[in-house]
Structure 1
Amino acid sequence: MSTSFIRDRPYLAKERASDITMPKLVICPLCGGFLWRPIACTTCETPFCKSCIKNWKAERTEPIPCPENCTEFIERKCPAGYLYALSELKLTCLNKSHGCNETLPYNNLETHEESCNYRLKTCPGCRTEIIRMEFDEHCAQCPLFLLTCPECNTSYQRQYAGEHNDTVCLRIQLRQLQDNHTQHQQEANERITPLEDQIRSLRQLVESLKNVQIDTQ
């Protein structure tokens, strides 16, 4: 089966390193990019990206063949030689196109990219992708960002903040009080009804006992 669906989206594209001294030790045969979180085949010891093998296995039935034509893929830890070759790589940050100029050792890449100031974050208001270092400033000004009134807990976009004045807020609080009162009244009625049924049953029982006493006199 073709693996072009994987090759279109390698996690670590080869373009992110300028000098590859041992390509056979660091390239995933499935995605064509650098190995990421690699695991290997027990039989041939060929390493693959963990996510690539997961996709490979998802489209096949048991027993799962190895991509390198071993009868069956049985997972093992990636051999140390491959891990050493990977540790020697220097890679550009994933966020280079957004402004990050860092070049990092392979083993430091994940930690850096998780905290990189050029990592994109999506504004919950306008849904625009903003680099991390400008995210808070953007959200503080975005007209579509949702604000919540501390008095009535109503949410509204920043652009409509001027319409949520004291009068509107008090009307909302009044409606909330009325709704709460109605809800509490319904809950009280639900508790009262079975009590009334019990009282009715007890009265009937008392009347029955009175009738029994009259009949025995």
Structure 2
Amino acid sequence: MTTLLHIDSSPLYEQSVSRQLTATFVTHWKSSHPGGTVVERDLSATAIAPLSAEWVAAVFTPEDARSPQQNELLSLSDSLIAELENADEYVVGVPMHNFGAPSVLKLWIDQITRVGKTFSYADGTPKGLLVGKKATFIIATGGVYDAQTQMASFNFVEPYLRSLFGFLGVTDATFLTAGGTMALNHGQDRNAFLAPHLEVVQTHALAV
């Protein structure tokens, strides 16, 4: 049975373009994966604390030597990593915030990027441990940051996520971007704006 991990990170909920597109992806993924399982993770509704010195110390303490307090500190990280390990595919909704990933997504990344869990240096070189996974990142940006545009160099979302997840072993990654969402704040019809992006997402969801 195939499992899809559906992650959203926008704080806008019903107004969110990325959430609407990931929901469409999930709907069509389900139709092409009868019997498949979808696991939902809403990062805007998940309390994730920034990394602390105590958290780092717990990570680098051997598992059999950790105190109950250290195990508690790592419990959320362990759960989030288990979601990634148990899923075959990921779909991640990512709104661009200040040219980068939203803070809740970065907090999640800090929890799931752990030596010995999602990557290793066992042979002296980095090796990703999340192998055999497929990921679709659905990005919504206020401006247009496509390659060859004037603002392309300001897009730190796709390069960062591609590098980070590649480092963790997820090299089968697709990036779908709905650029120019700011137009929705200036009278652009939402349905007309979303139509071509929904079509792309639907086609991709049925193909993966």
User: TM above 0.5, one fold?
Assistant: no
Larger radius of gyration: 1
TM-score of the two chains, using structure 1 as the length reference: 0.21
